[in-house]
Structure 1
Amino acid sequence: MHWIDPDYLPEITGTVDQFLVNRHGEADGFLLTDGEEVHVPPHLSARLLRDVRPGSEVRVRGVRPRGVQMVAAVAIDTPKGRILDDGPDAREDNAAFEKAKHGPMSVQGIVKRSIHGPKGETRGVVLEDGRIIRLPPHEAERFSALLTQGAEIVAAGDGATTSFGTVVEARQIGASAETMKTVGPKKPKHGPDHKGPKQPGKKHGPKHDEKHAHAE
């Protein structure tokens, strides 16, 4: 949304409570102490981690999806200046920043709240101890009963650990270890009936050519 002028968007203010971490170990959002969720494009992770800390006062301008207590940030004003989404091509070099430790991980706990993608789709939960469980949006819908506040949840999958947060991309999930079910993979952008891009050249198939051949 880097084409939007953020000064014309609604603004929220608050104090950063914790970062939200994706499966790559990037910060792609944060929670405020008042419960508001802010989604941040992951290409801004390095800048966000450099300029913001838990306890930082921030002003966020962005877009609010329907029915969700969340803002998809376009600009974040911090004590160190404005973080502006100029698009993924403006991603800073992450080499100087902490690399996540990846490996198999299992977590168990009580759901504190759900977390979302930029369009308001549910993408996982934060547990009461701050750890994060992520899963694809279509599977989040299937397991929605497990993702409600106060629910007991167990998950196992691919983990990423950083100093600013821990996340597991769930491969199995359930209310207990005995009831865990497999989480399906992320859906492809195109379904099985997708025909792919149109090919240049001939616009008509063999039947069309055959019809014209008989006409001659």
Structure 2
Amino acid sequence: MRRRAALILAGLALPAAARAQGSAPRPRGELWFDPTQLPSFTGTVERYLPNPRGETDALIFREGPQIVFPPDVADAVRQAAPAGRPLVVWGIRARNAPVITMLAFAPASDQPPTVVDRLYWRLGGRLPQERATQLTVSGTVKQPYYAPQGEVAGAILEDGTVVLVPQGTAEGVKDLLKAGATLTAEGMGQAGEGGRALLAGALGESPEALKPIAPPR
């Protein structure tokens, strides 16, 4: 299944010569395929989400779904739809979770779409870098944070803080990542104007209950 998905995504990618020109969004007319033939999803932007590198690479619709996109198009997406405004997204929805990998976007369906010319569907690109700092965050879980393929990969708190967990460990801490759970997390990440995000090394219901996350079996 994963190999098939990879082949589908690769088939939608632009030719190498086009990718070499950079990864800025492209007008529809420059592409060899019509992005509006892809499934479309419309919602109101509730907030933009950071990752532990300090980049913006996702948003959540007020209606619930999570949208992921490359951080280098974040400014263009935000300009098209600031928080509180509607956005139309063309892309690929995970089979078992409300998460969509963006391939094109527009402020409205009657406006020409802008196309994302590289796919952003590997969770590893969100991991903290050397300049990350130690953070401790607490709050109530708004909803799980999903990998583009649909697996639970962490949690989004009510204030927009993103808590990722190491790959393969979510099952062991799933009760702490559910909507409505009280969560404290400690790990490396970034905090700035775009919000807070970290890769957790320890989780608990409170600062006093923090426990290291067990490695995947």
- TM-score, normalized by length of structure 2? 0.71
Give the aligned partner of residue 190 of structure 1: none
Give the aligned partner of residue 115 of structure 1: 145
- Measured in 2, the distance between the counterparts of 1:137 and 1:51 equals 32
The answer to whether 1:128 aligns with 2:154 is: no
Task: Name the CA shift for 1:76/1:2 in 2 (closer, same or farther; >3 Å).
Answer: farther
Q: 2:118 aligns with which of 83, 87, 101?
A: 87
Bigger drift between 140-149 and 3-12 goes to 3-12
- Measured in 2, the distance between the counterparts of 1:111 and 1:148 equals 7
Contact 1:2 1:85 in 2 (8 A): no
Q: 2:46 aligns with which of 11, 14, 17?
A: 17
Offset at residue 2 of structure 1 (A): 6.7
Give the aligned partner of residue 22 of structure 2: none
Give the aligned partner of residue 97 of structure 2: 68
Count how many residue pairs are aligned between Structure 1 and Structure 2: 174
**3-state SS of paired residue (1:44):** helix
- Measured in 2, the distance between the counterparts of 1:49 and 1:23 equals 19
Cα RMSD of the aligned pairs, angstroms, is 2.4
Contact 2:172 2:214 in 1 (8 A): no
Offset at residue 156 of structure 1 (A): 0.8
Give 4+ residue runs of structure 1 displaced > 6 Å after superposition.
none
- Measured in 2, the distance between the counterparts of 1:117 and 1:81 equals 28
- Measured in 1, the distance between the counterparts of 2:136 and 2:114 equals 34
The letter for the 1-side match of 2:180 is G
Give the aligned partner of residue 175 of structure 1: 205
Listed as ranges, the gaps of 5+ residues in structure 2 are 1-8, 13-32, 120-130
**3-state SS of paired residue (1:146):** helix
- Measured in 2, the distance between the counterparts of 1:102 and 1:50 equals 27
Give the aligned partner of residue 68 of structure 2: 39
Q: 2:85 aligns with which of 56, 63, 67?
A: 56
Listed as ranges, the gaps of 5+ residues in structure 1 are 89-100, 188-216
The letter for the 1-side match of 2:141 is V
Give the aligned partner of residue 94 of structure 1: none
Offset at residue 27 of structure 1 (A): 1.4
Q: 2:58 aligns with which of 29, 40, 44?
A: 29
Offset at residue 86 of structure 1 (A): 0.9
Offset at residue 69 of structure 1 (A): 1.6
Bigger drift between 113-122 and 172-181 goes to 172-181
- Measured in 2, the distance between the counterparts of 1:160 and 1:82 equals 32
Percent of residue pairs bearing the same amino acid type: 29
- TM-score, normalized by length of structure 1? 0.71
Question: Relative CO higher for 1 or 2, CA cutoff 8 Å, sep ≥ 6?
Answer: 2
Contact 1:2 1:74 in 2 (8 A): no
Spell out, residue by residue over 1:69-108, the C-alpha distance to the aligned partner (whole angstroms, 9 max, x if none): 22111111137963322127xxxxxxxxxxxx94221011
